[in-house]
Amino acid sequence: MEKPSVCFRDLGKMGYQQAWDLQTELHAATVARKKANRERVKAGEPAGEQFHHLLFVEHPPVYTLGKSGSLHHLLLDEAQLEAQGFTFHRINRGGDITYHGPGQLVVYPILDLEEFFTDVHKYVRCLEEVVIRTCADFGVYAERDPGFTGVWLPGDSARRQARRKICAIGVHLSRWTTLHGFAFNVRPNLTHFGNIVPCGIDDTDRAVTSLSVEVGRPIELEEVKPLVKRHIQDVFDFFWRERTT
């Protein structure tokens, strides 16, 4: 079986709804190609090439609530959201509430997992692995937490340091084709997380952090993007292709 090929797009700064509309469009096209290829195979014809996509984006300040989340974890009302310049969206990914904003690298893989592996848990672990490797590039040790999705930094009781989340993950699959992805805190305004119960986790010994805080210097997204892109290719084992759609 040949390696899949993935088309990469860096969307730059883009509103959440516009990026969501693009994800939906690419997902529908990917599922349609899968269906068409199955019909071709049934008819004794060779299947055509499947197209997979990887999107990088930086959103204006927005809170999103997953399908299993609680609205009570949003600590602002509609008037406060508007006054402070935030938007809010209910979406169909897993997980609870999270924040996206400037200084955060949001990554949306749109992959037909039937060309990779059909294992949702492995998919999430692979996304975590990408961020763990990227943190390591900056000398930051990050890890998985068996009880919580995402990427975490270990706490240190001697230094009164809580376990800290540096990356949130929320995905949705339909016809084994992925939507949504992960949000990597590179240099966001961490005070914006104070308006929510991040991911529905209100443990006092857990907090949110960023790569810049942990490294001790400002880190820009452009410094991080090529590393994330390389690690995604290594972890998922695919080729890059030229954009055709």
Q: Nearest to residue 176, comparing CAs of 129, 93, 120?
A: 120
Task: List phi, psi (to 5°) of 85.
Answer: 80, 25
Torsional class of 139: left (φ above 0), alpha (ψ -120 to 50), beta (otherwise): left
Q: Are strands 62-65 and 97-100 parallel, antiparallel or unpaired?
A: antiparallel
DSSP output for 111-159: -BGGGT---HHHHHHHHHHHHHHHHHHTT---EEETTEEEEEE--BGGG
What are the phi and psi torsion angles at 90 (to 5°)? -90, 130
Residue 41: in which H helix or E strand, if any?
A: helix 16-42
Active site residues per annotation: 199
168 forms beta bridges with: 183
